[in-house]
Every structure is written in C-alpha cells, then in structure tokens.
Chain A
Amino acid sequence: MTPAITLKKLSFSYNGVSVISDINIQFNNQEMVSIVGPNGAGKTTLLKLIGGLLTPSQGTICALGKRIDTLNSKDKARLISIVPQNPRLPDKMKVVDFVMLGRNPHLALLEWEGENDLNKAVKSMELTETYVLAERELGQISGGELQRAMLAMAITQNSPIMLLDEPTSNLDLSHQGKVMDLIKNDHRQRVGATLIAIHDLTLAAQYTDRMILISEGRIFADGTPEMVLTESNIEQAYGAKVTILPHPSGGSPVILPVSGEYPRTE
C-alpha cells in the first residue's frame, strides 16, 4: 500500500542556516503521529515542507505516491490540509464562511458554494462543536473556539492527510483534552495520516501511537511514545533532566521536569 507521506533526503536551509538536514522517513495511512522536540528544532518547518508551503533545498516529498512539487495548489489542497499555529485571521469573517473556505479545493473558479458544501461545513462544525458559533465573527470568539473552528475548516477540506501545528499550545487545560479528542475522532474517520507538531510531551504520548523526536533538524528518535520518551533521550535532545512516570489511566509516559535550583519544597 502506498504510504501516506514519504520524505527522502529532505533538507532545508534559510539564509544559509541549515534548519532541516537529511530527513528520510515514511508515514503510513491511518497513523497519527506526534512530532516533538525543543523550540527551534524544526517542527514547524518540517510541517510546512510536508504541506508544500516551503520549497526544500534538497530532497523530495511524496504524498500518497505523488511528488508534491509537481502538484498545483488545488491538487495539493485536496491531498493535504493544514491547521497552522496562530494565523492572523480576518476579524469580521463569520465562522460559517470561514469553515466553508475549506471547500475551496473542490470548487471550480466560477463555481460558488451550494447546498452540498454548506452541509459538509455544518457537519464539520457539529463535529467540532462550533455550530453554535456559526454566525459569530472570528474576532469575537475565544482561543479555544477559534482552534476548533480551524479544525472544522480542515475537516471540511476532506483531505486524507492533515497536518496540525501546535493545536493545543494556546489552550487552557479544559480545552486541551477536548481538542485532542476531536482530532483523534476525525482521524479515525479519515483514510489517511495525521501529523501533529506539539510541545506538550505528556499530551502527545497520551494521544498518539507514533512519535518523532526532532533535534537540531534531524530525527533523533522514532517509535512509540514509550520508546522515544526516555530520560536519556530527553536529556540529550532537550538538555533537561526529567522524571518519567506511567500515567494513572492508560500507562502512557508522563514527563515531569526536575526542578532547578529553587523549587518550593525540598
């Protein structure tokens, strides 16, 4: 079976500085993968490369067997949908109009949205519990609601591969779990791969079956969260000491940073 995403000898430099070096990896359909690593390691860059938003300096990216540099914008969008981190959004746009933008890859230039498209958008909004916000403006809803609206738009796009860049970073505790649940639910319904760049290691370990640890533009570790998240790996990649405990429900690794010099209790 054709793998969902294949990266071969992928490198990317910016202003002479190498950000991604020589990545070779393959993701299969129905894999939900988290990409973790310290700030500046190259997570966002990797996602943008896979999504075709950046051109690699070297190497190739294939999505469902097709090289993405040979695809035009629309065909690319039909294969891959992206939920970016903190994009600037038009304040006055209604949530429903925003979500319906996800139908763009399926519409011809002269075609306008119809009943069918609206229904798909409504369905996505219901899935993400944003239907109540449909008539509200993007500038008027909260961070958590915005994240779900962006997810709704990506779902409406109906592409087999979905890339998410830090979908939980701006959310408070109550919403983090909820959004990850929604992502996982949607993932199960799609036939394709989901890649999530995320910095919350515990959350990533809870929800994803495969984890890639990036450090300094290279793949440091690749495997199940239990395999990847070892105290040694984390110390080498992050330069930080941690303690790892099994999660009370489920047993996935819980990462506890070891405090520095002045913790509150000895």
Chain B
Amino acid sequence: MQQDIDNKSEKAYVVNLSFPWIRTAFCLLAAFICCILAALIGSVTIAPDAAIAITFTRLPFIEIKNDWPVSWNIILWELRYPRIALAMLVGAALSVSGATYQGLFRNPLADPYLIGVASGAALGATIVFLSGIPSVIAGISILPIAAFIGGIGAVTAAYTLARRSTGTPLTTLILAGVAIGSFTTAVASILMLRSDPDLRPILSWLMGGFIRAQWSQSLYLLPYLILGFTVVFTYSRILNAMQLEEEYASSVGVNVEKTKKILILTATVITAAAVSFSGLIGFVGLVAPHTARLIWGSDFRNLIPMSALLGGCFLVLSDLVARTIVSPGELPVGIITSLVGAPFFIYLLVKNRSNIQ
C-alpha cells in the first residue's frame, strides 16, 4: 500500500477546492445592475442624470447644483430607495431561510413557510388589523411585532407537537407545521369573515408588498438578517453533512438534534422578521436557492451567501415590475413572484419526480 501511494504517476482528475470567483463576480455584477435598474425605473420618470446627481449629493463631501424638482429627491430617497433596500433584505432573508430548510429537510421543495411561519404571521397581523388596536403605540409600530410573534408562535407549536424523547423527526415536524398552519389560517379566515367586509388593507398586507417601505424597516430587519445569516453560514459545512441520513450524519460526529434546533430556530426567526415587514411573498425562498444550486452546486458554503444575493435581486426586480407594469397603479409583488415562481416550481416537480425522498 505504501508503494501505491508513492507511485501515483498520473492523477486522473484534479480536485478543485477553490472558490468559483468568475461565476460569483458575474453574479455580483448582475445584482448591481439590477439595483441600478430598480433605482432608475419607476412609475414616475426621473432623468437618469438627475437621479445620479440626487444620489451622490447626499454624500458629505459632494456638492451638486440643485436644479431638479423637489419631488424627485423625495421620490428617490423616501419612496424608491427604501423599497429597494427592504426588498433586497427580505429577498435575502427568505432565500437563506429557504436554502436552510431545503438542506435540513433534504427536500428540494421545502420553502421558508414549510412549518407554519406564514400562517402564524398572517394570524398575528389579522388580529391587529381587525381588533382596532392602534397601529402605533408609544412610537412603535405594532403590526410587525404581532406578525413576528404569530410566526414564531406557530412554529414553536409545531415543534412542540412533533418532539419526541428521542428527537424531532422531520416528517412529523412538517405534518405538525401543516396542521398548525391550517388551524391558524382557519382562525384568521373566521376573524375576517366576522368583521367589516372591507378587507382590502388586510388582503394587501397578506399578499405582500413594499408599497410604503421605510428606511426604519430595513434598519429593524438588518440585525436579524445579519445574525441569522452568520449562524446559518457558520453551520453551512454541517449542513453539507446533514445531507446524509440522520444516523449516518451522527456517525461522522454531527450532533443532529442540536443542529436541527439551532437551524430551525434561526431560519424561523429570519423568516418571521422578514414577513413581519413585507407580508407573505411566496416563491422567493424556493426559486433563489435552486437557481443558486444550478450555478454553484450543492455545497452550502456557496449556497447560503449566493441564495441571499440571488433572492434579494429577484425580489428587487419583481418589485420593480410590480410597481411599474400597471402604472400608475401597483400590483402586489406576490403576484409577480408567483408568475415567475409557479412555472419554476412545476419544472422542479417534474425534474424531481424520481428523486424525492
């Protein structure tokens, strides 16, 4: 055997461990272009040179002569840019969460709403809308808090239902999530039926949108996203190992139950935080990780950051379409993501017919 090692004359393949710089740079560039487009295009036409001037004049050491209408400045800085920022963050959050669930449940059809976050958040929001609780108490906006609590609560309920002394079987967790989700949806529906018939504000929120996104919302979401992303990214090597069956992963030293708890908690918190500001936007958490997988492969160390990037851009572009395609009107952004996402989902189903475990 020793001789065999020394005598390797030709390597049939060179194993490549290095990071795919070219693909990544290309996608970063595409993302950048995406954001530029979103900044320049909108229901109100703003001359590109004015837009650039308006943007750079905010920097402390740059002074540009102010000869554009005041409304343009406001439209860009108070309406459009906060929207792009929030869409980027929410898209990143949903994609990271989706990628994590797909890795944990070893199922390509898993999305961030799998175990009940969406329905729980919807119930929380519905209660605030319909109960007449003022939407701002002591300067703090109640709606996102209610949605967040609802989302976390639903997943906690599902997790508690599914837990066994030997651990938490994942298929049971999915079933529990479906059960809790159906229940919360039913309660929310009953509340809506029993209330005033003008449900437009609730339905608008539920369908998801960035119509009046604020800088403050991005600020609130950012720490959740940074923290959550860091945790998931740290675990990305372990997530790779979790692609083996649980017993097999355990035999290579992965603490499976602890990993499940940490990752489910993190992904749920990220999702709940995102959803509490943006409403329920579907398909982002499904489309972005899969596209990332097509480009970079299944290693979660690439997948996690690249899903975040792609998901953010996807949502920024979807929002761009949603707010310009029926100008001066707006469509809920969830409709656009569904129009793109549903065919993608069907394609996934067909492709995976033989592979679903």
The answer to whether A73 and B244 touch (CB under 8 A), given A91-B355, A118-B15, is no
Select which of A48, A76, A135 is within 8 A of B15 by beta carbon. Answer: A135
B interface SS class:
loop
Chain A 93-131: CB-based contact to B (< 8 A → 1; otherwise 0): 110110001101101011011000010001100110001
Complex Cα–Cα for A82 and B246 (A): 13
Interface residue B238 (Cβ < 8 Å from any Cβ of A): yes
Cβ contact within 8 Å between B298 and A93:
yes
Q: A185 on the interface (CB 8 Å rule)?
A: yes
Is B255 an interface position by the 8 A CB rule? Answer: yes
**Bound complex: CA of A134 vs CA of B255, how far in Å?**
27
B223 close to chain A: CB less than 8 A: no
Q: How far is the CB of A195 from chain B (nearest CB, A)?
A: 14
How far is A193 from B59 in the complex, measured between Cα atoms in Å? 68
Given A96-B15, A126-B8, A134-B13: A73 and B237 within 8 A (CB)?
no
| B29 interface residue per 8 A CB criterion | no
Partner pick for B251 among A77, A94, A113, A123, CB 8 A cutoff: A77
- Within the complex, what minimum Cβ distance (angstroms) separates A84 from chain B? 6
Known: A101-B241, A131-B13, A134-B13. A84 touches B253 (CB 8 A): no
Which residues of B have CB within 8 Å of A82? 248, 251
A245 at the interface (CB under 8 A from B): no
Does A147 interact with chain B (Cβ within 8 Å)? no
- Given contact pairs A89-B244, A101-B240, A77 touches B15 in the complex (Cβ within 8 A): no
The answer to whether A109 and B253 have CB atoms under 8 Å apart is: no
| Interface-centre pick from B235, B243, B251, B293 (highest chain A CB count, 10 A) | B251
- B151-187 CB mask vs A (1 if < 8 Å, else 0) is 0000000000000000000000000000000000000
Q: B-side interface residues toward A, CB under 8 Å?
A: 1, 4-5, 8, 11-13, 15-17, 106, 234-235, 237-238, 240-241, 243-245, 247-248, 250-256, 293, 297-299, 301, 355, 357
A73-B254, A87-B247, A104-B241 known, 20 other contacts, Cβ within 8 Å: A52-B250, A74-B255, A76-B253, A78-B253, A82-B248, A84-B245, A90-B106, A90-B244, A96-B15, A104-B237, A104-B238, A107-B237, A109-B234, A109-B238, A112-B301, A113-B17, A118-B15, A123-B5, A127-B1, A134-B15
- 13 residue pairs from A and B, CB less than 8 Å apart: A74-B253, A76-B253, A84-B247, A87-B245, A88-B245, A88-B357, A102-B252, A105-B252, A105-B253, A109-B234, A109-B238, A131-B12, A189-B1
Mark A residues whose CB is within 8 Å of B: 48, 51-53, 72-74, 76-78, 80-82, 84, 87-94, 96-97, 101-102, 104-105, 107, 109-110, 112-113, 118, 122-123, 126-127, 131-132, 134-135, 153, 157, 185, 189
